[in-house]
Amino acid sequence: MEKLDRISVDPRICMGQPVIKGTRITVSVILKMLASGQTVNDVLEAYPELQPEDVYQAMKYAAWVVSDQMHPVLVAEVA
């Protein structure tokens, strides 16, 4: 996995949610904005303290988190 040096997880900040380092802007806030159809530029306009790489790393972090999860698949028997 590539280095995610703009993401921070600290139990004392935002109850341990991953944030953009040096801010209280959570990865989930960024992802929710993008998922609702807003663009990277929209996120940057809403949070001028962010850089484009912050948004891209938030997406990379989310992809890494979900790719690391395992979900058992039930296979039905064929008679």
For residue 52, the model assigns a pLDDT of 98
Q: What's the rounded mean pLDDT across residues 9-20?
A: 96
Q: Write down all domains in the chain, each with its CATH number in brackets.
A: 7-67 (1.10.10.10)
For residue 3, the model assigns a pLDDT of 84
Is-contact 21 5, C-beta < 8 A? yes
Q: What's the rounded mean pLDDT across residues 5-22?
A: 96
Is the predicted pLDDT of residue 74 greater than 90, yes or no? no
Q: What is the pTM of this model?
A: 0.81
For residue 67, the model assigns a pLDDT of 86
Q: How many CA atoms lie within 13 A of 61 on its CB side?
A: 22
Is-contact 58 29, C-beta < 8 A? no
For the record, the structure tokens of 22 come out as 């040096």
Is the predicted pLDDT of residue 71 greater than 80, yes or no? no
